[in-house]
Amino acid sequence: MTRKARTARTARTAPTTTAARSAARTSPRDRWTFDSIPDQSGRLAVVTGANSGIGYVTARELARRGAHVVLACRSQERGSGAMARLRAEVPGARVELRLLDLADLTSVRRFADGWSHDRLDLLVNNAGIAMVPFSRTADGFESQFGVNHLGTFALTGLLMPHLLAAPAPRVVTVSSEGQRFARFDLGNLDAERGYRPLFTYIQSKRANLYFATELQRRADAAGLGLRSMAVAPGLTRSNVLTGGANSARGRAYGALMRLLLRYAFRPTPDGARTSLYAATVPDLPGGSYVVPDGPFQLRGEPVLRRREHAIRDTATADRLWTLSERLTGVSYRIPTGTPARK
C-alpha cells in the first residue's frame, strides 16, 4: 500500500474532527448518558434480541430519541410483551415486531426477504447466547458459534442492500471483553474437538470482533460510507446466563447465577451504554471498538479501545470471513468503486 493510500485510509477511520476527539474520551465531569444521545428522528433501526436485557434498553432509548425501531425477536409472545412495555414507557414510540431466530438460517433469510422498508440506517447485532449446554442449530452448527457469529454474519449480509440504500449506514455488533482470552482456533469453531461452554463462548465473541473489523475494512476498500463498530457491554445483568437453554441447568446453577447477577453485575441500562454510544455518536470513526473504561473494561464510561490484537489480525479475520460465507451460503454483495458518502 502506498503512503498516499495509507493516508487516505487513515483519514476515513481516524477521529480527526473536534467532535470525534470529544466522542473518543469521557471523564467523570463529562459522563455520557442516555441524555447525550442526539435526535434519532428519521433513522430506521433493527435491534436483534430486543425483547430483554441490553437489547430492550437499546431499542427503547433509540425509540425515545425518535428512531423507528424494528424489534427482531425469536418469540412472538416475548416480543409482543416487550413492544407493549416499550410503548408504555415511551408513548408515541415508532416500533414494530418481526420474528428472527439466529439459530435457523431459514428464519434469517425470511427476515431479510420480508424487509418492507426502502432502507436500513442502523443494525444493532445484539442477540446472542452464552455458555449453554452443548447443542446444535437448525443447520447443524454448534449453537454458540452458530447463533453468535454465523447468524449475525448471515443477517448483516442479507440486509446489506438495504443498509447501502441509507445515506449513512451503521452496523453495531456486540462482542465481549471475554474475547481477549480466546484461543481462536479456526479448525475447532464447531467444537468438533471438544466442547467447553466458556471457551466456546469467548471464541464466538472473538469472531464477532473479527467480523465487525473485517466488515469495516471491506467497506473501506469499496469506498463505501458504511461504518461498522464492535462493542463490549461489560458485566451486565441479563437473562443470557439464566434463560433459554441455561434454564435447564438446575436449581443450584440458577441460584448461583442470580446471586452473581445481583451483586457482581451492573444494572442492564449501564451495559447498554456502549451499544448506544456506538450507534449514535455522530462522528465516531468506522472500525471503532467501544468498551467501558473501568478496571478490566467490566464497567465504566464508553471509550474507544485501540490496542487490541484482534483488530490488527487481518489474516485471521479474512479467513473467518471466507469460511463464514461458505458455511452460511451468504456472500456479501459489496460494490467496488462507489464514492464514499459523507
Query: Which residue in 309, 311, 270, 312 sits closest to 292, CA to CA?
Result: 270
Q: How far is CA 120 from the centre of its chain?
A: 15
Asked whether residue 340 is assigned to any structural domain, the reply reads no
CA–CA gap between residue 176 and residue 241 (Å, rounded): 14
Instruction: Tell me whether residue 56 is one of the annotated catalytic residues.
Output: no
Asked whether residue 171 is assigned to any structural domain, the reply reads yes
Asked whether residue 338 is assigned to any structural domain, the reply reads no
Q: What is the pLDDT of residue 308?
A: 72
Asked whether residue 145 is assigned to any structural domain, the reply reads yes
pLDDT (mean) for 153-157: 98
Asked whether residue 250 is assigned to any structural domain, the reply reads yes
221 or 265, which is more confident: 221
Q: What is the pLDDT of residue 269?
A: 81
- Max mean pLDDT among 21-25, 26-30, 39-43, 305-309 falls in 39-43
Beta-carbon contacts of 16 under 8 Å, excluding residues fewer than 6 positions away, are: none
Asked whether residue 197 is assigned to any structural domain, the reply reads yes
Of the candidate ranges 56-70, 136-150, 225-239, the one whose mean pLDDT is the lowest: 225-239
CA–CA gap between residue 17 and residue 24 (Å, rounded): 11
Q: What is the pLDDT of residue 74?
A: 96
**Domain CATH for 41:** 3.40.50.720
Given the residues 56, 201, 210, 289, select the one marked as catalytic: 201
Q: How far is CA 35 from the centre of its chain?
A: 22
Q: What is the pLDDT of residue 64?
A: 98
Asked whether residue 339 is assigned to any structural domain, the reply reads no
Number of domains in the chain: 1
- DSSP-derived pairing of the beta strands 122-125 and 227-231: unpaired
CA–CA gap between residue 319 and residue 182 (Å, rounded): 17
Asked whether residue 342 is assigned to any structural domain, the reply reads no
How would residue 193 be classed by pLDDT, with cut points 50, 70 and 90? confident
- Evaluate if residue 331 carries a pLDDT over 70: yes
Which tens digit of pLDDT belongs to each residue from 19-38?
Answer: 444 444 444 446 899 999 99
The Cα-based distances of 203 to 95, 104, 209 in angstroms read: 33, 20, 10
Structural domain including 53 reads 3-328
CA–CA gap between residue 100 and residue 118 (Å, rounded): 19
